[in-house]
A and B are shown apart, each in its own frame.
Chain A
């Protein structure tokens, strides 16, 4: 069974305090891993797609990395506006049509 596990469930950081969020997955034949950001009361917003182990992508203070079993979302010198829930997702083993989401990490950045 395809599974996606995110940790921690919640993370509280001081502004400027860098940290990482983890997404571990079990799926046969990884065909991509997606990161999303979700603000309260809104739909998830796409951030990154990673396709192969060793790949990295960056956007402002966020950098996503991928290994064969997990992905990390590194947040460097976060600001309060980075506060959100971060979701990761992987296409199911059977193909791209279905995607399994993790339950997310709720990040709070305190000024």
Chain B
């Protein structure tokens, strides 16, 4: 599992409350990603990080923020949760292609199922 741990695994929260999901890795990978997965949409990138304090937006970043103060931790925050953010959230790390600084295949955490009521 490439040493990736997501927490919590399940969460139910109320509309309008802030929520933070945590992704922890043990292998010092540079690239870390947050995706959401919804029926009919597949995996969609929310935010990613390419180093400590270096982050960038993905295709569905509105309503989400991230922080990476340490190599091993990548936090995803829903600033004010809405029902449309009910989803399964996956964290991933990417290995570098051998001999390059570019990302190759990704390894995913087990996911966090978030329900906003």
Contacting residues, chain B, for A45 (C-beta < 8 A): 108
Chain B interface, >50% SS class: strand
| Given A42-B110, A43-B90, A101-B43: A96 touches B105 (CB 8 Å cut-off) | no
CA distance A104 to B103 in the complex (A): 22
* B-contacting residues, A55-98, CB 8 Å: 87, 89, 91, 95-98
Residue of B40, B42, B94 ringed by the most chain A CB atoms within 10 A? B42
Closest residue of chain B to A45, judged by CB?
A: B108
The answer to whether B107 touches A102, judged by C-beta atoms less than 8 angstroms apart, is no
Per the CB 8 Å criterion, the residue count for chain A at the interface is: 22
**Mask for B79-117, Cβ within 8 A of A = 1, else 0?**
000000000001010100100001111111111000000
Contacting residues, chain B, for A49 (C-beta < 8 A): 104-105
CA distance A48 to B88 in the complex (A): 24
Partner of B103, one of A41, A44, A96, A101: A96
Partner of B104, one of A32, A43, A95, A101: A32
Chain A interface, >50% SS class: strand
Q: Is A103 an interface residue (CB 8 A)?
A: yes
**Mask for A23-39, Cβ within 8 A of B = 1, else 0?**
00000000110100000
CA distance A101 to B35 in the complex (A): 11
Contacting residues, chain B, for A34 (C-beta < 8 A): 105-106
Partner of B50, one of A42, A89, A91, A97: A97
Per the CB 8 Å criterion, the residue count for chain B at the interface is: 25
CA distance A31 to B100 in the complex (A): 13
The answer to whether B41 touches A103, judged by C-beta atoms less than 8 angstroms apart, is yes
Contacting residues, chain B, for A87 (C-beta < 8 A): 42-43
Contacting residues, chain B, for A41 (C-beta < 8 A): 111
CA distance A11 to B65 in the complex (A): 37
| Further pairs besides A44-B43, A87-B43: 17, Cβ < 8 Å | A31-B102, A34-B105, A41-B111, A42-B111, A43-B108, A46-B106, A89-B43, A96-B94, A96-B97, A96-B102, A97-B48, A97-B50, A97-B103, A98-B58, A99-B106, A101-B42, A103-B42
